[in-house]
Amino acid sequence: MQLVPVASLVLASTLAALAMRPEPAAPAPFGPGAVLGLQKQLFAAIDAGDEAKAAALLDDTKEGGWSDGENGGIERPTLMLLDARGLPVFAHGADAARALLAATARASKDGGPEWTTRIVRSRADCPSGELSYAVLEFERSRGVKGGVQRYRSTVLARWTDGRMKLVHWHVSAADESTAKLAAADSKR
């Protein structure tokens, strides 16, 4: 009859140990959600006109020969965006990419109505910390009467400095009206 008190003691000890455990830490921001999180942070910084926050999301560590411009590679980071008129603009290398993101963010705080960016569709994967991706369709709108412009985006990201950072970002028009605006401006 000694088994019952021993079993009770084991059960009570186990429950007490579980009750005293600290709360689990928040899960590490890994996986596809981290890549989408990077893109959301980037959109928020650009919409708010926060040049420093946008630039801080660039991976400029230049680690690894596959992405540093050596032997014909593309210098990292590389941005292929659209300007306010929908015309393509390019930046290759950390300094040029920071300058382009700063100009993009600066354009969002020109005194007009607030910008809003919304991800409509996404597909992301994080096969490794060395290179992960997201393919997005997103909308940018300005104020109530600013209209909506739709874009497609490809992001390549890398885990560095304790977070996902941008290695490559390509944006293009996703709908006919946005593409027509760019085409009309390019003829001027």
The tens digit of pLDDT for each residue in 116-168 reads 999 999 999 988 878 899 999 999 988 777 788 999 999 999 888 888 999 99
- E strand residue ranges, the chain: 78-82, 88-92, 115-125, 132-142, 148-160, 163-173
Distance CA 76, CA 166 (A): 9
Candidates 123, 122, 133; CA nearest to 158 is 133
Distance CA 68, CA 61 (A): 9
Residue ranges of domains in the chain, CATH in brackets: 30-186 (3.10.450.50)
Contact 138, 172 (CB under 8 A): no
0.85 surpassed by pTM: no
